Structure 1
Amino acid sequence: MSRLSTIARPLGLRLALLVIGLVVSLPLLFLVSLSLRSPDDVQNGGWIPSRFVWANFSNAFDTIPLATMARNSWIVALGAALLTVVIAVPAAYFAARARSGQRLSGVLLGSYCAPPVAALLPLYYLFKDAGLTNNVLGLILVDGLANVPVAVWLLEGFVRRIPEEIEEAAWLDGLSAGATLRRIVVPLIAPGIVAVGLISLFLSYNEFLFAVSFSQRTDSQTLTVGLSLFQGDHTVQYGQQAAASLIGVVPMYVLAVLAQRWLVAGLTAGGVK
């Protein structure tokens, strides 16, 4: 009986994981189905297209400058993730070690709890005066700064797990606080930095509100804005929109699958504060 239970337990676990994976994949599979349908076929519902329309993928590039928008999305996401990490690492170190660090964490998390639309109007006029509207640099700045609070909150847990005696030994060897951060703390919290960078990358890549508000020209708009442009006055090109969504989703999905080991390891390593 024990042998049967030993065999059945991993089999049941694999079956449960298979069911969960299938359920999670349903939206992506339905998106694939939509990308291969004509507008009339979309209205009929169902999961399997009555006729495969492969032209939706090529037509999507003709309807909007899809390649340019996808490139802008990656530039903004990578730049914003780098900016977030550069700011969040020293901020998290200060929040974990300084006496007033808890106050900094509270202020940052409080600002993150506010709805982004509350900052939309003042940021727009500020960026307009600085010449950063219709510019990917402006989106990098706003997305990178917007993700700093959650990045500091995550990295603070990693810093607190480092024994302070290690830093004190570095100070006795003549290292400054900045050198200790660069040469001692940063290598020790590298898994957390990778995890935070990936999370910031995903958040910036999917951001829509600031992208649609600060960029009115197609040469500076991101893919999330481009997906909203398939809607006309009377019709919506669902097939082309789904095809464009797949073009944007698949690379990020593959990146998430490939990086899941570092992402999960990083988040679980910093889970205890």
Structure 2
Amino acid sequence: MELIDGKKVAAEMKQEIAAKVAKLKEQGGKTPHLAAVLVGHDGGSETYVAYKIKDCEAVGFKSSLVRFEDDVTEEELLAKVDELNNDDDIDGFIVQLPLPAHINDQKVIEAINPKKDVDGFHPENLGRMVIGMPAFVSATPFGIVELLNRYNVETSGKNCVIVGRSNIVGRPLSILMSQKANNCTVTVAHSRTKNLEELCRSADILVAAIGSPEFVKGNMVKEGAVVVDVGTTRVKSDKTKSGWKLKGDVLFDEVAPRCSFITPVPGGVGPMTRVSLLHNTLLAATNQIYR
């Protein structure tokens, strides 16, 4: 069993991005600028956005943080999105999800200019990705594919089972894995899938993205499989200073001995999601997607 070290790969990618940014600045180019919009004080979102700001500093990006309280109106938020769309200094921006219940997430996503949609959530970017056009690919699916590629995991002709069908991870990842670059035969499973354990055991590459802590047990994984754990659920813990710890969707101690490769939680997919956002922002700043 080999551990797929997302921290290590993300650090390598950061160095690569930083070198490109330094060269861009040397040539008189514009410093890439990423903005984040944060509504409320959700603990997970606060932590994630703080990391994004540090990541920007590490690679030489400019970063901006726009904060709103939970009671911001949808109209006020959409007005800010429009302002960011029209700010020529900002190359890309994200609106951190989840949003309060009184705000329509999809309406906000669709209001973002696709050319600045570095989260890759806008229907235009998803559609472009589906038909193989240049697009901003959602950060987590892109990060997963990059991990597999950098660990030389063979994907061509393999059976890939993805447990989870969200528009952020499961669905876009299923498209990426089935495209010619990866050549997998893909099955998307979910909570209503019959014979789920049997289906998971058929996977050469098993991706757990269902959002249920330790859902995938040892009896659901065949010997020699590659397992990618996307889960990041906070659970209470009296063994940490914070009072909580992250749990993945895979029962690691049971599953790991059966795998050829496996991603840990934390330190697997999470760091790749963050660095993939930097990757997309650099693409936006250098007009690599929409020309």
Q: Pick the TM interval, shorter chain.
A: under 0.3
| More RCO (CA 8 Å, sep 6+) | 1
Higher helix share: 1
TM-score (norm 2): 0.25
TM-score (norm 1): 0.26
